[in-house]
Amino acid sequence: MNKNFIDQIKVFGVNNLLLESALTKLENDGIEIGHISTVKKDDIVDKELFELEVRKIANKMADFYALYFCLENTIRRLITDVLEEKYGKNWWDTHVPDGVRVEVKKRQDEEKDTQRSLRSEDPLSYTSFGEYISIFEKNWSDFSDVLRSKKAVQQILSQFNQVRNVIAHSCELNDDEIMRFTLLVKDWMRINM
C-alpha cells in the first residue's frame, strides 16, 4: 500500500474517533440522537469468558432490559409523586396496603442479613408489579385523574409482570414477546393522561 493511502486511513480513523466521542458527549449531556444504541455492547463483556452466541443474545436483550428499567422506575416515580404530593413524606405508612408493607419489610430485613449492599432506602424499590396494582387500587381516587382506567392498569401491569420474569431471569424474548412488550409500553403510555 502506498503511504498516501495509509495516511488517509489513519485520518479517517482519527476523525471517526473524534466523531464517536462528540456523539457520546452529546447523548451524555441529554441530547438523544440514537448514537448510544449503536455502540457495540459486545465491548462490555470479555469475549474470552463467554461464547459468541450467548453474547449475541445478551446484546439483543440489553435493550429490553433498559426499556423495562425505565418503565418500572417511571411507574415508581408516578406512585411516589402522586401520593407524596397528596399525603406527604409518610404516604408509604398511611396509603400502602398492609400486606404490601409487610412483604416489603420482610424483603428489606432479609436483604439486611446479607453481605450485599442494600438496593435502596425506598421501600417502593422492593415491590412487585402485583403490589403496584394493589397500591393503585387502594388509592385509585388519587390516580384517576392521571391514569385512564383502573382495569387497564391492572391488565397492563399483570402482563408486564410476566414479561419481567423472562427479562429478569436472563431468558431471551421471542419475536412475539418482543412485539407484546413493545405494545405494552405503548399501552402504558396511552393510558397516562
**167 pLDDT higher than 80:** yes
- Residues 5-30 pLDDT 10s: 655 665 565 556 556 666 666 666 77
Sign of CA dihedral 117, 104, 145, 187: positive
Q: How many CA atoms lie within 13 A of 174 on its CB side?
A: 1
Averaged pLDDT, 122-129: 94
Asked if 107 and 31 sit in the same domain, the reply is: no
SS3 118: coil
* Position 4 pLDDT exceeds 90: no
Are residue 62 and residue 131 in the same domain, yes or no?
Answer: yes
Mean pLDDT computed over 52-65: 83
Q: Which domain holds residue 29?
A: 1-39
- If asked whether residues 27 and 58 sit together in one domain, one would say no
DSSP letter (8 states) at residue 174 = -
Decide if pLDDT at 164 tops 80.
yes
Same domain for 115 and 84, yes or no, is yes
User: Are 35 and 69 members of one domain?
Assistant: no
pLDDT at 38: 58
Same domain, 89 and 4: no
Q: Which of 44-53, 132-141, 179-188 reaches the highest mean pLDDT? A: 132-141
Helices (H), 88-174: 91-95, 98-112, 129-138, 140-143, 150-168
Q: Are residues 119 and 86 in the same domain?
A: yes
Q: If pLDDT is split at 50, 70 and 90, which confidence band does 169 have? A: confident
Instruction: Say whether both 87 and 24 belong to one domain.
Output: no
5 with 86, same domain: the answer is: no
What value does the mean pLDDT of the chain take?
Answer: 84
DSSP class per residue in 124-140: GGG--HHHHHHHHHHTH
pLDDT the model gives residue 1: 58
pLDDT at 60: 81
Are both 88 and 8 inside the same structural domain?
no
Residue 178 CA, distance from chain mean position: 15
Compare 153 and 59 and report the one with higher pLDDT. 153
pLDDT in tens, 60-114: 888 888 888 888 999 999 999 999 999 999 999 999 999 999 999 999 999 999 9
State the pLDDT at residue 37: 61
Mean pLDDT for the stretch of residues 138-151: 96
The verdict on 84 and 123 lying in the same domain is: yes
Residue 117 DSSP class:
P
Same-domain status, 110 and 66 = yes
What is the total count of domains within the chain? 2
pLDDT band at 163; cut points 50, 70, 90? confident
pLDDT of residue 178: 86
CA distances to 81, 93, 96, 132, 160 from 103, in Å: 22, 13, 11, 13, 20
Q: What are phi and psi of 147, to 5 degrees?
A: -120, 135
